[in-house]
Structure 1
Amino acid sequence: MSNKKLSKFNVFTILLIPFVWIYELSVVAPILGEVGKAFPTASTFELQLVVVMPFFASIPFSIIAGKLAKKYDKKNLIIIGLLIYGLAGITPFFCHTLHQVLVFRLITGIGVGMVLPLPNSIIAELFTGTQRERMLGATTSVANVANVLDSIAVGFILTLGWKYPFLCFTVCILIMFVAMAGLPKCPPVAQPAASNTQTSGKGVPKIVYGLLLFMAVNWMFFSFNINNTALFMVTEHIGLPWMIGIAISLPGGISIISGIVFPNFYHKTKNYLVPISIAIFAVGYVVMYFTHSFAVQCIANCLIGFGSGLLPPYILNLTSTKVELSKRDSAYGIVTAGIHIGFLSSPFIQLLISTITGIEAFRSLYGMCAIGLVICTVISFFVVMRIKKDPVAEIAAE
Structure 2
Amino acid sequence: MSSIKLTKFNIFTILLIPFVWIYELSVVAPILGKIAEAFPNASTFELQLVVVMPFFTSIPFSIISGKLAKKYDKKNLIVLGLLIYGLAGITPFFCHTLPQILVFRLITGIGVGMVLPLPNSIIAELFTGIQREKMLGATTSVANIANVLDSIAVGFILTLGWKYPFLCFIVCIIIMFVAMAGLPKCPPVSQSFDDSNLQTSGKGVPKIVYGLLLFMAANWMFFSFNINNTALFMTTEHIGVPWMIGIAISLPGGISIISGIIFSNFYNKTKHFLVPIAITIFALGYVVMFFTHSFATQCIANCLIGFGSGLIPPYILNLTSQKVELSKRDSAYGIVTAGIHIGFLSSPFIQLFISTVTGIETFRTLYGMCAIGLIICTVISFIAVMRIKKDSIIETA
Shorter-chain TM band: over 0.9
Equivalenced residue count is 395
Answer yes or no: is the 8 Å Cα contact 2:198–2:324 preserved in 1.
no
Change (3 A) 1:235 1:72: same
Q: Render the CA deviation track for 1:18-68: whole Å, top value 9, x for unaligned.
A: 000000000000000000000000000000000000000000000000000
Give 2:142's aligned amino acid.
Answer: V
Distance 1:196 1:181, change over 3 A: closer
2:360 and 2:81 map into 1 onto residues whose CA distance is: 41
Aligned to 1:92: 92
Give the aligned partner of residue 296 of structure 2.
295
Contact 1:387 1:393 in 2 (8 A): no
For the pair 1:235 / 2:236, whether they are aligned, the reply is yes
Which deviates the most, 194-203 or 227-236? 194-203
**Cα distance in 2, alignment partners of residues 386 and 335 from structure 1:** 24
User: Letter of the aligned partner of 2:295 in structure 1?
Assistant: F
Give the Cα–Cα distance (whole angstroms) in 2 for the partners of residues 14 and 251 of structure 1: 24
Give the corresponding residue for 2:77.
Answer: 77
Summarize the Cα distance change of 1:354–1:71 in structure 2 as closer, same or farther, 3 Å threshold.
Answer: same
Which residue type is aligned with residue 102 of structure 2? L
Give the conservation status (yes or no) of the 8 Å contact 1:388–1:394.
Answer: no
Match of 1:54, SS state, is: helix
TM-score normalised according to structure 1 size:
0.97
The answer (yes or no) to whether the contact 2:63–2:335 under 8 Å persists in 1 is: yes
The equivalent of 1:267 in structure 2 is: 268
1:346/1:393 Cα in 2 relative to 1: closer, same or farther (>3 Å)? Answer: farther
Q: Give the share of equivalent positions with the same residue, in percent.
A: 87
C-alpha distance in 2, partners of 1:148/1:97?
29
Taking the aligned partners of 1:219 and 1:52, their CA distance within structure 2 comes to 14
Distance 2:82 2:360 in 1: 42
Q: Which residue of 1 aligns with 2:133?
A: 133
What letter corresponds to residue 275 of structure 2 in structure 1?
Answer: V
Distance 1:289 1:393, change over 3 A: farther
Match of 1:315 in 2: 316
* Counterpart residue type for residue 206 of structure 2: P
Aligned to 1:202: 203
SS at match of 1:72: coil
Question: After superposition, where does 1:1-398 map in structure 2 within 5 Å?
Answer: 2-192=2-192, 198-391=199-392
> What SS does structure 1 have at the residue aligned with 2:191?
coil
- Greater shift, 196-205 or 216-225, is seen at 196-205
Distance 1:146 1:196, change over 3 A: closer
| Change over 3 Å in CA distance of 1:196–1:19 after alignment to 2 | closer
Cα distance in 2 for partners of 1:39, 1:264 equals: 49
- Alpha-carbon distance in 2 for matches of 1:393, 1:211: 25
Partners of 1:44 and 1:262 in 2: how far apart? 39
Structure-2 separation of matches of 1:132 and 1:189: 18
Structure 2: gaps of 5 or more residues: none
Q: Alpha-carbon deviation of 1:391?
A: 1.6
State TM-score, norm by structure 2: 0.98
The CA distance in 2 between the partners of 1:237 and 1:277, in whole Å, is: 30
Equivalent residue letter for 2:2: S
Report the residue type matching 1:126 in the other structure: L
Shift of 1:10: 0.1
Runs (5+) with no aligned partner, structure 1? none
Residue 202 and residue 5 in structure 1: after superposition, are their counterparts in 2 closer, same or farther (change >3 A)?
A: same
User: Structure 2 CA distance, aligned partners of 1:142 and 1:307?
Assistant: 17
User: 345-354 or 379-388, which moves further after superposition?
Assistant: 379-388
CA–CA separation in structure 2 for the residues paired with 1:3 and 1:392: 35
By how many angstroms is 1:198 displaced? 2.2
Structure 1 residues 368 and 197: CA distance shift in structure 2, 3 A: closer
Structure 1 residues 46 and 355, CA, compared in 2 at 3 Å: closer, same or farther? same
2:380 is paired with a residue of what secondary structure? helix
Change (3 A) 1:283 1:34: same
Is the alpha carbon distance of 1:394 and 1:291 closer, same or farther for their aligned partners in structure 2, counting shifts above 3 Å?
farther
CA distance in 2, matches of 1:153, 1:367: 32
Residue 242 of structure 2 aligns to a residue whose secondary structure is coil
For residues 35 and 8 of structure 1, the distance between their equivalents in structure 2, rounded to whole angstroms, comes to 42
Aligned-pair Cα RMSD in Å: 1.4
Q: Secondary structure at the match of 1:192?
A: helix
Residue 182 and residue 193 in structure 1: after superposition, are their counterparts in 2 closer, same or farther (change >3 A)?
closer
Counterpart residue identity of residue 86, structure 2: G
Give the partner amino acid of 1:55: F
Distance 1:79 1:296, change over 3 A: same
The alpha-carbon distance between structure 1 residues 196 and 265, as it changes in their structure 2 partners (threshold 3 A), is closer
